[in-house]
Structure 1
Amino acid sequence: MTSSSRGTLIFDLDGTLVDSAGDIAGSLDTLMTEKGYAPFGLEQGRKLIGHGIANLVKGALRQRGVTDVDAAAPGLIARFTEIYGSRLTQITRPYDGVPETLAALHAEGWSMGVCTNKREMFARKIVADLDLVRYFVFVCGPDTFNVSKPDPRQLLETAKAVKGGDPLVFVGDSEVDVETAKSAGCPVIAMAYGYTKKPLADLAPDAIAAHFSEIPAALRRILALA
């Protein structure tokens, strides 16, 4: 740990730092239309988001009555990836308060990174396009270390790459993120506006934040109890 670092703060991407639902759902609707299925629209598409591209496409196929999802999925996953890769930040924007809060946390001395189940190339382009890359030492996807959340190794390897030392705190939005942090043995702050499929209170994160600007205060509470 460097003398200037307060510790390591790792963030999930989708549903935590950025609202990507419009581009993901739009890409899914393009895919569905191409393949002759009815599109989902934003609100229904949003409900399928949260567990990576493969699960998104497979969930969409199940909802459209495809009987052999495993056989149909690979080609459609590849096509979705192609479509989505062409419009990563067409609509996607940081959530309210994200740039300002990241700047404040950076000024406080936190060493920060991103740990997402979105492929690394896409994640890096999003944080670069949205002018957030300056705050992150390292951006990790499932292809970075060939392991993905909820496996805690993805988070722990990201933390090692950030080199901020202890304490390590994870900020996410879903049951996958909470499980990952608990398995890694570190505190987790859950954002209330993300893509969780379960009530956050039932997941028992160390803190729940309704707005990104609440993270510094949540960190102080968590560290005071440590």
Structure 2
Amino acid sequence: MKGFTVVFDLDGTLVDTAPDLAEATNHVLGTLGLERVSELEIRPFVGHGALAMIEAAVTSHGRKLTERELHDLFQIFFDYYSANIAVRSTPYANMVTALEALRSEGATLAVCTNKIEIQARQVLKALKLDGYFSALTGRDSLGVFKPDPKHLTGTIALAGGRPDASIMIGDSETDIKTAKAAHVPIVAVSFGYSVDPVASFGPDAIIDDYRDLQAAVKKLTGMPVSR
């Protein structure tokens, strides 16, 4: 696998961050005097970033926000989440073993997320995952963000790779659209935050457990899979 770059989404792919994101969103609602929403209500919006989570939660209470109000609430969200970045967030089962296996075979690993870069780095550092990745970009890193393919290709370039020798791992329609637009094969995880089955978006492969990632990556790169 030497020479290949494997690029991961973060929220819903590497780490289950929804519990802490939901708590930050509910903190924002509390400042408005609004009732809490459930984590399940927040999950579909995680891949779209904090603004989408805030707007959806407030809208569910019948409130509309101006751009200025949304900006102010984002700052409240940002401050609270930064101070409580990984209280209940956890890496998905067998994910670390999968990263180690890919890296041991010579793959370069990277992260491409629609999370703000500084918070993405905080999450990985808090969970002791930051040492696995050669590059990380967030929605504010390159001037574009997913589903713009330049977010993915820019991440690959920062990792020293090429799109024609890369694979993406993600959990959402946004990830799949991004990879397809960049002409990069994508493995979708079935356990992330997508409301609709990821199969409906046409990924190149789907895994239900990180134990299956190495075989899926090898198959898509044309490498022999151990039996």
**TM-score per shorter chain, which class?**
over 0.9
Aligned to 1:188: 186
Instruction: Quote how far apart the aligned CAs of 1:24 are.
Output: 0.4
Instruction: Quote how far apart the aligned CAs of 1:68 are.
Output: 4.1
The 5 Å alignment of 1:92-171 reads 92-165=89-162, 166-171=164-169
The 5 Å alignment of 1:40-79 reads 40-79=37-76
Letter aligned with residue 193 of structure 1: F
Are the aligned partners of 1:10 and 1:159 in contact in 2 as well (CA < 8 Å)? yes
Residues 1:90 and 2:75 are matched in the alignment: no
Residues 1:9 and 2:6 are matched in the alignment: yes
Distance 2:47 2:207 in 1: 18
Identical-pair percentage: 33
Q: Any idea what SS the aligned residue of 1:215 has? A: helix
Distance 1:127 1:62 in 2: 31
Work out which of the residue numbers 15, 18, 25 in structure 2 matches 1:21.
Answer: 18
Aligned to 2:213: 215
Deviations 1:73-131 (A, max 9, x none): 12111211111111111111110011111011100100110000001111111111211
Which runs of 5 or more residues in structure 1 are unaligned?
Answer: none
Distance 1:127 1:185 in 2: 27
Are the aligned partners of 1:48 and 1:60 in contact in 2 as well (CA < 8 Å)? no
Are the aligned partners of 1:58 and 1:69 in contact in 2 as well (CA < 8 Å)? no
Deviations 1:45-87 (A, max 9, x none): 3233221111111111211111345453121112111111111
Distance 1:188 1:54 in 2: 26
Distance 2:195 2:38 in 1: 18
TM-score between both structures, scaled by the size of structure 2: 0.93
> 1:197–1:71: structure 2 CA closer, same or farther, 3 Å change rule?
farther
